[in-house]
């Protein structure tokens, strides 16, 4: 979904023209099925997005058994059916949103059912947790429950999904769109990742679009590319307002969006007919929320209750730094599995008091808000018992998949190679990977052997602070130029500017001094 401000929405209402000659979806369906007039291919970036979101979810959630399931699905083929069966099954859904079937829709069904079966199994499993959230919000607003399938297309039901242009969360809100629809976004919280609040915002946006088009299929298209592009396609088609009539006037990415939506509806209702078995979700199905009135770190909860930080992140993805920034009149809710609510109520005093001074410096809390919370990069040891391998990024690679392939943590891979927050890698890029000698032998066919790690200076442990900076501790023999070389795109002049170092002070940089470096 792209960013479209209110003024664009208002102008779009004026630009939409009536079409007296428009035909029904069913008429178009019959025409397309018989004459096969519409032909198109699935954009590569649509397929890549499914893979990226899937592998990122695997790595972040540390899912087990997925690799074996991936291999099983490679050998287990899809069952093909005649077109008449697909048509009958779509009709039997009795959808409030008019559905079509043609060769393009069939391509997307085949993508899901044949080529991305493991991804579909994972999405169906996660839907047990997310669909009830979507359905309740849609029902409360008297909207078609079928709209719950939009996040399947947008994010593959990965609440941490982030697109190449910065759209984030299940509903893929851009920053300004999120702010426009009242989502809180700051240094500690990003409600675009909040399943419930982002759903409320998405419903408001969908309602605004429906007031404009009075047609859910056009609303779905406009959700993806914006009403400006849909209105432009309507005008170029001579005022027609049937999606399939304006199909070739839409941006290529959006052309496949509605067929993918229809295919997703088919997949989630008939996956069992194609021998797909849902992967059980690791998310707790029954949760409840607690109201927090003071700052709280996830580690305070994890160390006082039988729950991991990873579990807390999975159901509270909006807290992007593991911190609930409550206090000073602000309250926030934290979601917990239902069975932990009683334990929190009984032990909340000790939970908030646990290592309070370590997690929150109350004296400096309001003095320097940019440095009031610190977090530490826990990086795998790269001492002398490790071997450095160099992997060359190939077409289709993403950081999460590379980490998964070599059996290392994504956070370690990013740290070793100074990857940015978006974890972007490019074709041909060389990545350092540190493995035990035994694992290095196993992966020699994938990466180049670059020698044993002689000491711990190959990948120094650093402390990271808010504001995209790290703190580097100067070592014996260091100078600003050698330090800058460790971080691509950083110069010695940058380090001087970030740390207020003048030319006269350069010679006075001694071992042990800590320098801020922007990453």
Is the pLDDT reported for residue 263 higher than 90? yes
Backbone φ, ψ for residue 376 (5° rounding)? -120, 140
Write out the DSSP string of 301-367: HHTTSS--HHHHHHH-TTBTTSEE--BTTB-EEEEEEGGGHHHHHHHHHHHHHTTHHHH--TTTTTT
SS3 state of residue 175: helix
* pLDDT per position as a tens digit, 60-117: 554 444 444 444 455 456 678 889 999 999 999 989 998 999 999 999 999 889 888 8
| Identity of the highest mean pLDDT range in 48-57, 258-267, 472-481 | 258-267
Question: If DSSP codes are grouped into helix, strand and coil, which group holds residue 388?
Answer: strand
* Confidence at residue 18, expressed as pLDDT on a 0 to 100 scale: 36
The CA-CA-CA angle for residues 433, 439, 444, to 5°, reads: 70
Beta-carbon contacts of residue 113 (< 8 Å; ≥ 6 apart): 78, 120, 267, 271, 274, 276
Q: Are 148 and 138 contacting, i.e. CB atoms less than 8 angstroms apart?
A: yes
Task: Identify whether the C-beta of residue 36 lies closer than 8 Å to the C-beta of residue 105.
Answer: no
Domains of the chain: 6-274 (1.10.530.10), 287-374 (no CATH), 387-458 (3.10.350.10), 468-518 (3.10.350.10)
Q: Please, what is the average pLDDT of the chain?
A: 78
Average pLDDT of span 341-348: 91
**DSSP 8-state symbol, 504:** G
Check if the beta carbon of residue 398 is closer than 8 Å to that of residue 52. Answer: yes
3-state secondary structure 32-63: HHHHCCCCCCCCHHHHHHHHHHHHHHHHHHCC
Higher pLDDT, 349 or 379: 349
CB atoms within 10 A of CB 95: 16
Take residue 27 and report the two structure tokens written for it.
């008429």
Largest CA distance in the chain: 81
- Phi and psi at 443, nearest 5°, equal -105, 15
Q: Would you give the DSSP letter of residue 77?
A: P
Pick the residue with more confidence: 132 or 468?
A: 132
Residues 6+ apart with CB under 8 A from 154: 1, 161, 167, 170, 171, 172
- Residue 378 pLDDT exceeds 60: no
Can you give the pLDDT at residue 101? 92
Q: What is the predicted pLDDT for the residue at 360?
A: 83
Of 71 and 126, the structure prediction assigns the larger pLDDT to 126
Cα Rg, the chain, nearest whole Å: 26
What is the pLDDT at residue 508? 75
Q: Which two tokens stand for residue 404?
A: 């998964």
If you write DSSP's letter for every residue of 97-126 in order, what string do you get?
A: S----SHHHHHHHHIIIIISHHHHHHHHHH
Q: Where is pLDDT greater, at 408 or 299? A: 299
pLDDT interval class at 451 (50, 70, 90): low
pLDDT band at 466 (very low <50, low <70, confident <90, very high): very low
At residue 445, the pLDDT reads 77
- In this predicted structure, what is the pLDDT of residue 379? 44
Residue 474's nearest CA partner among 506, 434, 432, 433 is 506
Rounded to whole angstroms, how far apart are CA atoms 203 and 183?
A: 13
Q: How far apart are CA 258 and CA 247, in angstroms?
A: 10
CA 487 → CA 357, 418, 464, distances in Å? 32, 7, 14
Helices and strands (H and E) in the chain: how many: 23, 11
Q: 216 falls in which pLDDT band (50, 70, 90)?
A: very high
């Amino acid at each position: 979904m792209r960013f479209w401000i209110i003024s664009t929405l208002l102008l779009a209402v004026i630009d939409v023209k009536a079409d007296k000659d428009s035909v029904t979806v069913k008429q178009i369906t019959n025409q397309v099925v018989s004459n096969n007039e519409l032909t198109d291919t699935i954009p590569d970036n649509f397929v890549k997005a499914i893979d990226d979101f899937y592998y990122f979810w695997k790595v972040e959630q540390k899912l087990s058994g997925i690799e074996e399931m991936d291999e099983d699905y490679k050998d287990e083929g899809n069952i093909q059916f005649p077109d008449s069966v697909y048509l009958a099954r779509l009709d039997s859904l009795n959808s409030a949103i008019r559905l079509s079937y043609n060769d393009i829709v069939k391509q997307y069904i085949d993508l899901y059912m044949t080529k991305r079966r493991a991804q579909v199994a994972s999405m169906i499993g996660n839907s047990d947790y997310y669909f009830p959230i979507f359905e309740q919000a849609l029902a409360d607003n008297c909207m078609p429950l079928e709209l719950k399938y939009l996040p399947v297309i947008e994010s593959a039901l990965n609440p941490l999904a982030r697109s190449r242009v910065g759209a984030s969360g299940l509903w893929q809100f851009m920053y300004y769109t999120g702010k426009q629809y009242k989502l809180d976004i700051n240094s500690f919280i990003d409600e675009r990742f909040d399943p419930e609040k982002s759903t409320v915002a998405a419903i408001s946006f969908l309602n605004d679009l429906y007031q404009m088009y009075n047609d859910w299929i056009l609303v779905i298209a406009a959700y993806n590319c914006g009403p400006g592009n849909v209105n432009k396609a309507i005008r170029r088609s001579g005022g027609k307002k049937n999606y399939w009539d304006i199909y070739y006037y839409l941006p290529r990415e959006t052309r496949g969006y509605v067929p993918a939506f229809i295919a997703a509806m088919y997949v989630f209702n008939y996956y069992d007919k194609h021998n797909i078995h849902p992967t059980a979700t690791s998310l707790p199905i029954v949760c409840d929320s607690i109201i927090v009135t003071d700052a709280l770190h996830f580690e305070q909860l994890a160390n006082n209750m039988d729950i991991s930080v990873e579990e807390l992140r999975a159901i509270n993805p909006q807290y992007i730094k593991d911190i609930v920034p409550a206090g000073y009149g602000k309250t926030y809710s934290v979601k917990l599995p239902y069975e932990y609510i009683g334990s929190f109520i009984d032990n909340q005093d000790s939970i908030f008091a646990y290592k309070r001074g370590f997690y929150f410096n109350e004296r400096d809390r309001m003095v320097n808000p940019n440095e009031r919370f610190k977090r530490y990069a826990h990086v795998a040891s790269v001492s002398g018992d490790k071997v450095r391998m160099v992997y060359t990024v190939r077409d289709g690679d993403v950081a999460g998949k590379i980490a998964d392939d070599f059996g290392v943590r994504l956070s370690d891979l990013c740290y070793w190679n100074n990857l940015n927050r978006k974890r972007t890698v490019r074709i041909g890029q060389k990545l350092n990977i540190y493995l035990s000698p035994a694992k290095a032998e196993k992966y020699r066919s994938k990466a180049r052997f670059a020698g044993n790690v002689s000491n711990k200076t190959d990948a120094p442990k650093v402390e990271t602070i808010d504001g995209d900076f790290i703190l580097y501790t100067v070592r014996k023999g260091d100078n600003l130029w050698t330090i800058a070389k460790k971080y691509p795109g950083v110069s010695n002049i940058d380090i001087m500017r970030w740390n207020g170092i003048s030319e006269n002070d350069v010679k006075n940089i001694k071992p042990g001094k800590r320098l801020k470096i922007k990453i």
